Structure 1
Amino acid sequence: MMTLRPIILVEDNPDDERLTIRALRRGNVVNEILVARNGEEALSIVLNANPLPSLVLLDLKLPKIDGLEVLRQIRANARTHLLPIVVLTSSSEERDIIDSYNLGANSYVRKPVEIEKFTEAVRQLGLYWAVINETNPGGL
């Protein structure tokens, strides 16, 4: 039996946190969801995780350490450099999109403003990354 690895949600907005978790659960994602509310906490959770998470959902605009720096440090670590990271942010700034991909993001998703669209986008993300996608067995 395969053990489900957790999903790390890095989100400082309590409303977006609740919506994201609800959408993942509605999408039948049963993985444990660990929440980091700033970049410093995110790095601590991800870099010390055992086993590694199956996915990191990363906001960019975070207190303490911003999301791009979190992404940079995760990719710089030999143990976590292949960890799937989806940037899930309200930013549609071209620079943020370019920087995220240059730093190794697997996907960049702008949070829809409408609740129903936000919920559906997160449900699909969770379904793909936690259920459909084959994780890297070497990353356990």
Structure 2
Amino acid sequence: MSDNKRSIVILIADDDAEDRMLLKEAMEENRLKNTIQFVENGEELMDYLRNKGKYADKEKYSCPGLILLDLNMPKKDGREALKEIKEDAHLRLIPVVVLTTSKAEEDILNTYDLGVSSFITKPVTFSSLVDTMKKLTEYWFDIVELPKVK
């Protein structure tokens, strides 16, 4: 993996503190070198992406190369945030991977219709989560060429 690919920020939007901790640990288990940032709802996600409020520092909160998005969050859910991201000419280039507990066909169809890059149902066990994060990061950082979004 090149140093350039290691510098890609992963932004995780998930309201569940335990899920955030498990995702962080799963990525650490895979020795992922990327910076990981967390937001807890869709409003925070949009503030981060637009460098508003507490996310105004562009050095500290740089544009992510990949967003992992939970669908069911308070204030603004993942579906609403995804719609906003994909309607924004600047933000729509950022790959968004839905990572949620939902297995609903309607959620799968709707998020792909809104422009999501991938839809993943959260694994039940930690070892499965580690494996999923390994495959996800290998795909997005070793195989795929990502656009440079500023």
**CA shift at 1:14, angstroms?**
1.2
Q: How does 1:86-101 map to 2 (within 5 A)?
A: 86-101=97-112
Asked whether 1:59 is paired with 2:83, we answer no
Could you tell me which amino acid in structure 2 is paired with residue 29 of structure 1? Answer: L
Cα distance in 2 for residues equivalent to 1:6 and 1:76: 21
**CA shift at 1:131, angstroms?**
3.6
**CA shift at 1:79, angstroms?**
0.6
Q: What are the ranges of 5 or more consecutive residues in structure 2 without an aligned counterpart?
A: none
Cα distance in 2 for residues equivalent to 1:87 and 1:125: 12
Q: Partner of 1:36 in structure 2?
A: 39
Equivalent position SS for 1:34: strand
- Aligned pairs, number: 139
Could you tell me which amino acid in structure 1 is paired with residue 20 of structure 2? Answer: E
Structure 1 stretch 125-134 or stretch 62-71: which is displaced more?
125-134
Structure 1 stretch 118-127 or stretch 86-95: which is displaced more?
118-127
Cα distance in 2 for residues equivalent to 1:127 and 1:26: 14
For 1:24-74, what per-residue CA distance to the aligned partner results, in whole angstroms no more than 9, with x for missing partners?
Answer: 222232111110011110111123385421100000000100100010001
Cα distance in 2 for residues equivalent to 1:98 and 1:80: 21
- Counterparts in 2 of 1:74 and 1:105: CA distance versus 1, 3 Å: same
Within the candidate set 128, 132, 143, 1:121 is matched to 132
Q: Partner of 1:103 in structure 2?
A: 114
**CA shift at 1:127, angstroms?**
2.5
Cα distance in 2 for residues equivalent to 1:130 and 1:45: 22
Q: Does the 8 Å CA contact 1:27/1:126 hold for their aligned counterparts?
A: no
Cα distance in 2 for residues equivalent to 1:46 and 1:128: 23
TM-score (norm 1): 0.90
Cα distance in 1 for residues equivalent to 2:27 and 2:138: 8
Within the candidate set 79, 94, 115, 1:83 is matched to 94
Q: Does the 8 Å CA contact 2:30/2:130 hold for their aligned counterparts?
A: no
The Cα RMSD (Å) is 1.7
The runs of 4+ residues in structure 1 deviating greater than 3 Å are none
**CA shift at 1:23, angstroms?**
1.4
